[in-house]
Chain A
Amino acid sequence: MDVLESLPGTGGGAEADERDVARFKAGEEAAFERLVRRHEREVYRLALRLLRNPDDALEVAQETFLRAYRGLSSFRGEAAFRTWLYGIALNAARTRQASLSKSLSRAQRLEGDEDDPPSPLLSVSDPAPSPENRALGGELKEALLAALSRISPEHREILLLREVEGLDYGEVGVLLGIPEGTVKSRLARARRAVREALEGIWP
């Protein structure tokens, strides 16, 4: 049963989460491992899409589950466990991004004149699709990632939560702390932004 529940797309995830949260609170440590197994890939994926670096994504995923472990006893179940977990992951990713940005701007200052082109190492957040990727058929994905890196963080977040992670408007609203109507309008602006960003990248 647990194996089936841990597989993506097998359904019943929310109920299984509830059950495991209750078991964990009752002292069954193994229940937390099941929660990790059930959500680890989506948390990692969200972090990877937001940060675009596997090492940073792994650190954020670790931080997310560590915080979840510490805070689960006080989780009251007002939102679904998955929503709560995404909230933790989002905060951890934002913190990580802020830290990276700070390091980046410090490094850029150390690089010298602001008119100089940025170092290739510092421009990883906005890559153009490489010829190899195009040849391998991953060009659309690369182009989209490049477009996502050119839009605002709030547009990027809402697009990933809704279109990639598949959260409904209500969940996204809870996560971002905005009403459902605002979710819809922000999502529309985000779609427009990414479409316009693709304009210069995609033929």
Chain B
Amino acid sequence: MTCDEFLDLLDRGEALPPEALSHLDSCPACARAHLLASEAARGLDALKEDESPPDLHARLMAALPAERPRLLHRRLPWVLPLAALFVAALLGGFSLLTFLRRERPEALPLPRPSVAAPHPAIEKPEDSIPEARKQAPAEGTLPAGDSAEALPPPPPRPLELHREPPLTLSEDLREVRPAAPAPPAVAAAPAPQANTQSLPSGRGLLDEGEPPSAGGTAEAPAAQEGAASSPVLCALETLDRSRYASLQLPPGLCPPPGAHWYVVLGEGRVTAVTDGQGRPVLNAVEEVDGAVRYLHLPPGRYKLRRVG
């Protein structure tokens, strides 16, 4: 056997035949190669030794949690409910903050704008109201028998701008339902558990003691109607009356019966409130803005007038 043949056999890792072993006796170079091959095999075997750190498993698993939401849930069952609670608290806090920002710190709270429910007093001319509107429950109102004291006030809700044809309102309705506060009419109604009664009382637009408007400024009707008047039903409509929203507002935020105001909406907020002659209505911009901003109306000029 030659040295090359021996080394080929050696490197194949197979058992050496007898003639290879006899070659070893006569060839020191191949004997040395044989020794080194044996030592290499022994050394490779030593590399099987486990040298992993004791915390290997923990460290490997720690690298996984971000990828393993279900495992995380299994191991830490309290994490997800806690996170949900935290998010709920955040949302609740935000809603409360939003609500409080709309409230004035003094006096009575402003009534929340709401889609007008058919007031008993205005249900009379049923023929003039579409059937769907007659049957639809009023949003933001309480069921009969409930009161604002018994139940917490519902959170402010965005109001929907109606896309149906405008109501044939104003004159007939106004005749049926006297303008707020109109206590005799309401008191005389046979079913007094009306929607407006379940809402908090409105407050005047103008603070008591505020100086009367001067010159070219229109005066808000609250000055005449008193700060604690009941909310009145108002309509905010486009000038062509193709779209409208009905609102319950404190009297101070609504023009006097028979009159109308113009509300100018910029991007997301009211920028001006003027009377029919184009004179700015004193202190009305901020209050009207607070009442109508949730309608998310497109910018433009709108007409605001009293319905009830």
Interface residues of B (CB under 8 A from A): 7-8, 10-13, 32-33, 36-37, 39-53, 56-57, 59-61, 63-64, 67-68, 70-71, 74
Contacts and interface: CB of A to CB of B under 8 A. Distances in A.
A194 B36 CA distance: 9
Given A49-B47, A164-B48, A195 B74 contact: no
Contacts of B67: 66, 69-70
Which residue among B11, B12, B41, B45 has the maximum number of chain A CB atoms within 10 Å of its CB? B11
Contacts of A164: 44, 47-48
A140 B49 CA distance: 13
B71 A29 contact: yes
Interface string A175-203: 00000000010011101101100110010
Contacts of A160: 47
Nearest to A199: B36
Interface stretch (A39-47, A86-94, A98-106, A116-124): A39-47
Interface stretch (A12-20, A54-62, A75-83): A54-62
A187 B63 CA distance: 35
Given A36-B60, A66-B64, 16 more contacts: A40-B60, A44-B52, A45-B48, A48-B51, A49-B47, A58-B56, A61-B56, A62-B60, A65-B64, A69-B68, A140-B39, A144-B43, A145-B47, A184-B12, A188-B13, A198-B40
A62 B43 contact: no
A23 interface: no
B56 A45 contact: no
A192 B74 CA distance: 52
B77 to A, nearest CB: 13
A49 B51 CA distance: 10
Q: How large is the interface on A (under 10, 10 to 19, 20 to 34, 35 or more residues)?
A: 35 or more
Contacts of A172: none
B40 A144 contact: yes
Contact of B59 (A37, A58, A140): A58
B36 A191 contact: no
A82 to B, nearest CB: 15
Contacts of A187: 13
B37 A45 contact: no
A33 interface: yes
Contacts of A58: 53, 56, 59
B281 to A, nearest CB: 64
A159 interface: yes
